[in-house]
Structure formats: C-alpha cells, structure tokens
Amino acid sequence: MRRKLDVTEGEFTLLRNRFGRLIAGTAASAMLFAVAACGGDDTAAAPTSAAPASSSAPAAASAKVGLAYDIGGRGDQSFNDSAAAGLDKAKAELGVTVEELEAANGETDAQKEDRLRLLATGGFNPVIAVGFAYSAAITKVAKEFPDIKFAIVDDAAEGANISNLVFAEEQGSFLVGVAAALKSTKGNVGFVGGVDVPLIHKFEAGFEAGAKAVKPDITVQKKYLTQPPDFSGFGDPAKGKTAAEGMFDGGADVVYQAAGGSGAGVFEAAKAAGGLAIGVDSDQAKTADPTVADVIITSMLKKVDVAVFDFIKNFTAGTVKAGITTYDLKAGGVDYSVTGGKIDDIKAQIDDYKNKVISGEITVPTGA
Amino acid sequence: MTTGTQAPQTPQVPQHADTFANRLVGRIRLNGMMALAAPLLAILFAGLVTSLVLIITGHPPIDSLLAMVEFAGMPRTMVGIINLASAYYLSAMAVALGFRMNLFNIGVDGQYRLAALCAAAVGGAVTLPKPLHIALIILVAVLVGAAWAGIAGVLKARRGVSEVISTIMLNTIATGLGAWLLTSWAVPVAGSNNIGTKPIGESGQVPGISLIPGAPNQVFGLFLLAVLVGIGFHLLLNKTRFGFDLRSTGLSEPAAVASGVNVKKMIVIAMLISGGMAGLVGMPQLLGSSYSYGLDFPPGFGFTGIAIALIGRNNPIGVAFGALLWSFLDVSQNILNFEKVSPEIVTIMQGVIVLAVVIAYELVHRYRIVAEQRRVSRELSASARTEGAAA
C-alpha cells in the first residue's frame, strides 16, 4: 500500500498540471461562450457551443439547476422519481440546464455537503436537495454560498437562502383513508409503512383519522416494514407483500401503502387476495405494473414534481421566497387520484371531506 | 496446501502453517522484493479492471481518474477523506483484532451503532467539565460496544456458538433495539422529519485540528484517537504477553492450550476488546460533527471495516493506507457523478481492490513457495553431487 501512494504522489503534480490545463481550456471556452451569449441579438452566427441556449428559450433559461437526490435516485418509482419529473418538466418547458447527483448508502453529512458544494461551485443556481437527510448539510452549505438559492424537499432547515418545500401528507392520506373506509365492506383496513420514521407517521395518522371519520369503529391494521437505520423498507417488494398478505388474512379488504418501492408487493398481495389497494406519492394506477394496476382504487398524490417545478419557475422569474412553502390540499400539493374510475361512486363524499379539510373545519392529526 | 518449508538458515523463527487462511490475514509475511511485488500487482490489476469497466460503460478512464485525483487534491476534500478514514480505521482495527485470533467479528456494525446511540444519549443528558464530559461519552461507547460484542464472546466460549452467526444476529437485534431506544430517547429535530438524541453540549464536543493548510474545514479532533488505537494495537499484539497468547491462540488452539493459554478466557477478552474498539468507530463523527445520534447517523462502517482489514492485511500501517484509499474512493463518488460516471462504479472499484489484494498476495505467495522448493531441491541435488564426487 505504501508503494501505491508513493506512485500516486509522484505523478500527482504532473497529473495536476495536465488537469489544470484542461480546466483552463474549459474555462476559456466557457468565457468565449459567455461573450458570445452576451454578444447581442444576432447570435445565430455565434460559434458552435452557443446554439442550444440562445434561440428558443427566454432570458432566464440560462439557469443551471443542480439537484441532489436522496438514496435510490432517479428510477425509484417513488419520491425521487417525482422530483425528477418536476426537473424534466422544467427542462422541457423552461429550457433550463440540469445536473443531477445521486446519494450513496451509509454516507456521512460531509459527503452530502460535498455534493451540494460541488453543485454550488460548479455554477449551478438554484440547488435543490431532495429529502430530509440533507437538512444539516444544506444549512451549512447555504451559509457558504449566500448568492445561491437553495431548496430542500420535506424539511424545514432554516437559512436566508433556503426555500423549504414541505407537504401536508396527512391531509392527502386523510382523503384516501375516507376512500378506504367507504370501500371496505368488512370494516377492516390496513396501513403498510416503509420505514418507522416520523415522516411516514404522518401518512399513518392521516389515513387512520380519515377512515375513522367515516366509520368510527373501523379496524385499522398497521405495519412498518423496517426500523431505521435500515431503510430497505422503502425498496423491498417482498417485505411489502408479506405484510399485506398478513393484513388481508387478518380480515382487511383495503390496504394503503406508504412504502416507496415496497408498495409493488402490496399490490401483488391485494391482487392475490382479491382485495383492494391504495397507492402513494404518484398516480400508481398509471405507474404500477399493469397486471396489478386494477386493484389500485386511488393514490395519495404528493406532488413533489409540482413543488420542484414551481420552485425552478419562481427562480427563473426571480420570485423565489426563502422559508417554508407548505404544499397542502388547499395549495394542491397533495390530493387523491381517480384514474381507473374505481372511486367515482364515492367521489362526492370524498370531495365533501376535502372541502372540510381545506376550510379548516376538519384538522387532520400529523401523528407528531 | 503445501506445508511450511524447512528453510535451513532460519530455524529459530517459528513457522506459521502455510495455509491460504494464514496467508490471507497476513500472518505469513513476504520479504524483500516480494513484499513490494504484491501491492504493485494488486494496483496494476485493480487499475486494469477499473479502466475496463469505465471503457465498457463508455467513459474515458484517464479523464475520470484524473478528475478523482484532482478533487482529492483539494485541501477541503483531503480533510473529508481523513475524517471518514478515521472511522474506517477504527472499524478495521476492531475487525483486525478478531482476525488475529481467528475470530470473525462481523458484528462491529451493530456494536458501533448501539455504542454511538447510547453515548450520544448519555452525552446529551449530562453536562460536565470539558475533558470529563468527553471521557464519559467515550467510556460509555467503549463499554456498550464491548458488552454487545461480549455476548458473542460468552456464547462462543460457553456454548460453542460460532461468532459469525451470533454477531450477525446481534447486528439485527442492535438495529431493532437501536430504533426502539432512539424513538424513546429522541427529541424531534425542530421542523424536520429527522429525529435525534438531545444534542451534546459544548463541553462534550471535541474541537477540530487544522491539519491541512489552506482547508476551510478541520480534521476531527478524534482523528488522534485512531492514531492512538493503531499504536496501541501494535504494542498490545507484539509487546505483551496477552498479545502473544492472542496470536498463538489464533494460529493453533491445541498448541496454545498445551502451552497453558486459557482459550475460552482469551475468546471472551478478545471479543470484549474488539467490541470496545468498535464502540469508538462512531466517536469522531459524533463528537466532531453530528453531536447527536439521529436517523441520518451513518450506518455500515462495520462492514466497510471488514474489507479494509483484508486490504490492510490486519497490520496497523497497512490498514491505515486501506482506510485512506477506501475513504478517497467514497469521497470521489460525488465528483465521478458530476462527470456523468455512475457512482456505483466506485463500489465496483472497491470490490475489485479487495479481490486484487487477495489475489495478488496469493499469487506472490505461491510464487515464493515454488521458488523456495526449487531452491531447496537445487541445493539438495548440488550437495548430492558433491557427496557423490567426494565418494
């Protein structure tokens, strides 16, 4: 091992010089690019690299958005994917350029800070962090870069340049709780949570309150798949299936899952047991495996995509506000889906509750 | 496996049985050119495979590696690498101590998590003068880690339960117990979806050291703890009666028993020490940066420690390089991701390095054995010839 480091160190200066030149080269071309972009109206003739930004998009389109995902990253069919959808929309509609970085399992705050700092020093503004795990990291890094706008999803980390995109998950869960109770013939429903953390407690509390609002004596079975720091409960369909099977065997006929990727197993169990299921985060009757999509009567929509898109849009318009923006029922940040028409018969009743929550007549517990 | 060759020149050095296991954990040392050849071969192999993976995934290997080196060369990143390596080092040394006695402590992960949680809870609950507060927190961590590992030690000594099985089970139990304790002790982090133990007050925090010139951040003060543990490990194993007993028990239990070592007692003590070291793993992070054990406290250091102990061949110096290398790769994940290289590539690199080290050392050892056999047979035939000539 000693030998190895010696070699690396010996060649290090040489490498750095070569890399330094490379950076200098990049910087030079970037400046050329900037000059070309500022150059004026007739940029059509501008050299090569200026092409993508200049023509179609508005002036703010030069915004470079940096986004750091939580564990799982793009492709988790859940929380991160929802953020990715908002980013994609911003890319398509606002013409911003984006950079996405992923998180690794078991990393320290220092590595999360590194990630945000890389984006900030790389010229990305705004920088968006997905998930409460970035709380400590974003508080620290935002202080170092006062001129850059930061946003964090699901967390209230404070800072003069941090926007907090938080959701009233309990309100959306309340509505699907109402739907579950109305659809249940046995008076017995289930809740499958991915990991036993405060965030998922909000889903549970809202769901139970919704079900009990309709039928005060209804049985609500609850199960969390894993305990922190084991976060596999958000990505293990087998665990979700076992838990849901237990609930259907125990007399439940509708099961709500707030378990990320494990939810696929809940749907399978519902299909096998002839029961019904409720999806979470996105409209899962559309996104789930088509063979099980017909058991999904509705989904609790948590519109991380809307929050991310709004934030980027506000940034390009120069109207970003620091502090907490709560995406609740009133703001349309959470909702329930009607894809498949399975709850058309009870939609009026659900909307009745929805209006009561919006007007403040019903206060949904958060489980805190 | 070929048994130890009776090298005529060095009969006084006790020969370790030349088995794969002994070679794997570094009990049999290479010397001279061969000691250099093995790590070089490993680096060459790891470099080749990594480059191949990069090429297959459509990334220029040279540029990617240059980006990693450039990023790691920044003072701030260097500090990050050292900080992360401190925890890795402590974890690997805890594993290494077990390895030296043929004990495979897979439970370091559960031991350090439980220890860090209890230490954080105690540290947050009391306020003491500075050195005492820190000492108390570290003491709690060591005791909890030792106690948790001690369960596996007693099970093995009394009931013959393999420590591999029991420590894996204890990991799972530690996760459940930790989650329960955390929810009962935790205070919600204001406005966040995170929960954590009550933050440790100023008197329990360990100030950082400005080790790297020009870095805006500081190396964890408890980086020194890792250094001390490394020195202590070396002294304990090589300069004490206990270390001799430990090593001899690891080599041959019957021989150790014959020379008067109480093997059962050794097992329990070794597990206690290994667990106590494991208890330290979370300390640099806890007392240097987090000050509270929450949902975001990094898990998994215990398993990383096993790989690093293998890379470093259970030698305090080797493990230090292994920990720094591993930490460097982890920290590089971000920059690679920034260069559009999937961060999973780093995981592949780490796996390849472990394999490369094992394979390279084994190859060099086999070469050594063959060369030695040739030399002996050459000497034998030469002496036979001279004898024949004399007769």
pLDDT in tens, B201-232: 999 999 999 988 888 889 999 999 999 999 99
By Cβ distance, the residue of B70, B325, B331 closest to A19 is B70
Q: In Å, what is the CA distance from B262 to each residue of A253, A333, B248, B372?
A: 61, 67, 11, 36
Whether the per-residue pLDDT at B22 is higher than 80: the answer is no
Confidence band for B12, pLDDT divided at 50, 70 and 90? very low
Continuous segment of H or E residues that includes residue B285:
helix B283-285
Give DSSP secondary structure letters for B327-376: HHHHHHHHHHHHTT--THHHHHHHHHHHHHHHHHHHHHHHHHHHHHHHHH
Radius of gyration of chain A (CA): 24
Q: What would the pLDDT profile of B103-123 be if each residue is shown by its tens digit? A: 999 999 999 999 999 999 999
> How do strand B187-188 and strand B195-196 relate by DSSP bridges?
antiparallel
Q: Whose structure tokens read 């459509």?
A: B58
- Helices A304-317 and A79-94 pack at an angle, to 10 degrees, of 30
Identify each DSSP E strand in chain A by its residue range.
64-71, 97-103, 127-130, 150-153, 162-167, 188-195, 219-226, 254-258, 276-281, 296-302, 323-327, 334-336
**What pairs with residue A219 in β-bridges?**
A188
Whether the per-residue pLDDT at B15 is higher than 70: the answer is no
Chain A residue with the nearest C-alpha to that of B318 = A1
Judge contact between B297 and B186, C-beta under 8 A: no
CB contact under 8 A, B193 and A197: yes
A292 interface with B at CB cutoff 8 Å? no
| Cα four-point dihedral sign B269, B271, B273, B275 | negative
Judge contact between A64 and A71, C-beta under 8 A: no
Residue A18's pLDDT is 40
Q: What would the pLDDT profile of A220-253 be if each residue is shown by its tens digit? A: 999 999 988 788 888 889 999 999 999 999 999 9
Burial class (CB in 10 A: 0-12, 13-18, 19+), B377: exposed
Share of chain B above pLDDT 90, in %: 56
CA distance B372 to chain A (A): 25
Whether the per-residue pLDDT at B82 is higher than 70: the answer is yes
Weakly modelled stretches of chain A, pLDDT under 70: 1-61, 368
User: Which of A19-28, B88-97, B136-145, B162-171 comes out lowest in average pLDDT?
Assistant: A19-28
CB contact under 8 A, A2 and B321: yes
Q: What is the DSSP letter of B187?
A: E
CA distance A67 to chain B (A): 11
Confidence band for B13, pLDDT divided at 50, 70 and 90? very low
Residue A30's pLDDT is 41
What residues in A contact B295, CB-CB < 8 Å? Answer: 133, 197, 228-229
Q: What are phi and psi of A283, to 5 degrees?
A: -75, 90
Residue B1's pLDDT is 42
Confidence band for B26, pLDDT divided at 50, 70 and 90? confident
CA distance B175 to chain A (A): 7
By Cβ distance, the residue of A5, A104, A118 closest to B338 is A118
Chain A residue with the nearest C-alpha to that of B328 = A111
| Token code pair at residue A33 | 């690019």
Q: Whose structure tokens read 């086999």?
A: B366
CB contact residues (below 8 A), chain A span 118-147, against chain B: 118, 122, 132-133, 135-136
| Token code pair at residue B241 | 């009666």
Q: What is the DSSP letter of A333?
A: S
CB contact under 8 A, A228 and B182: yes
Averaged pLDDT, B233-249: 93
Count of helix runs (H) and strand runs (E) in chain B = 15, 2
CA distance B215 to chain A (A): 14
CB count, 10 Å around CB of B51? 16
- Residue B84 and residue A90: Cα distance in Å, rounded? 36
| Token code pair at residue A204 | 């549970």
A238 interface with B at CB cutoff 8 Å? no
Radius of gyration of chain B (CA): 24
* Domains with residue ranges and CATH for chain A: 61-167+303-333 (3.40.50.2300), 169-301+338-359 (3.40.50.2300)
Chain B residue with the nearest C-alpha to that of A132 = B193
Q: What would the pLDDT profile of B257-285 be if each residue is shown by its tens digit? A: 998 999 999 999 999 999 999 999 999 99
A43: number of CA atoms within 13 Å, CB side? 19
| Token code pair at residue B288 | 């240097």
- Helices B316-338 and A2-38 pack at an angle, to 10 degrees, of 20
Q: Taking all residues of chain B, what is their mean pLDDT, rounded to a whole number?
A: 88
Confidence band for B43, pLDDT divided at 50, 70 and 90? confident
Q: What is the ipTM of this complex?
A: 0.79
Residue A40's pLDDT is 35
Whether the per-residue pLDDT at B185 is higher than 90: the answer is no
| Token code pair at residue B354 | 């472990």
- Residue A223 and residue A89: Cα distance in Å, rounded? 35
Q: Whose structure tokens read 């953390």?
A: A197
